């Protein structure tokens, strides 16, 4: 979750490194650069990069309410 309460969905093979990048460097997503700090709220493990990208696209298509429901499970 970003500092402005917006939700960001992404995929990576190194979650800790990616959160640090989002919060401290120019390597984070453009979306998160002006919405720091970013706080990790949810992760999933997928078997392959392809599966991860499909899952990311699926979650991005959801409404904010549905994404928030995922966070409380």
Confidence of residue 20 (pLDDT cuts 50, 70, 90): very high
Tokens 């402005």 belong to residue: 4
Q: Has residue 2 been placed in a domain? A: no
Looking at residue 73, its pLDDT comes to 74
- Residue 25's pLDDT band, with cuts at 50, 70 and 90, is confident
pLDDT digits (tens, 9 = 90+) for 42-71: 999 999 999 999 999 999 999 999 999 999
pTM for the full predicted model: 0.88
Token digits of residue 17: 């490194």
Q: What domain range includes position 31?
A: 15-71
For residue 4, is it within any domain?
Answer: no
> In this structure, is residue 29 part of a structural domain?
yes
1 is a domain residue: no
Cα 49–51–54 angle (5° rounding)? Answer: 110
Q: Percentage of the chain surpassing pLDDT 70?
A: 100
Number of domains in the chain: 1
CA-based nearest residue to 7, from 26, 30, 35: 35
């Amino acid at each position: 979750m970003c500092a402005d309460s917006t939700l960001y969905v992404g995929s990576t093979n190194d979650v800790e490194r990616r959160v640090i990048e989002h919060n401290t460097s120019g390597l984070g997503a453009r979306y998160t650069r002006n919405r720091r700090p970013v706080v990790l709220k949810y992760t999933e493990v997928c078997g392959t990069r392809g599966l991860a990208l499909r899952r990311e696209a699926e979650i991005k298509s959801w409404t904010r309410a549905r994404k928030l429901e995922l966070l409380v499970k």
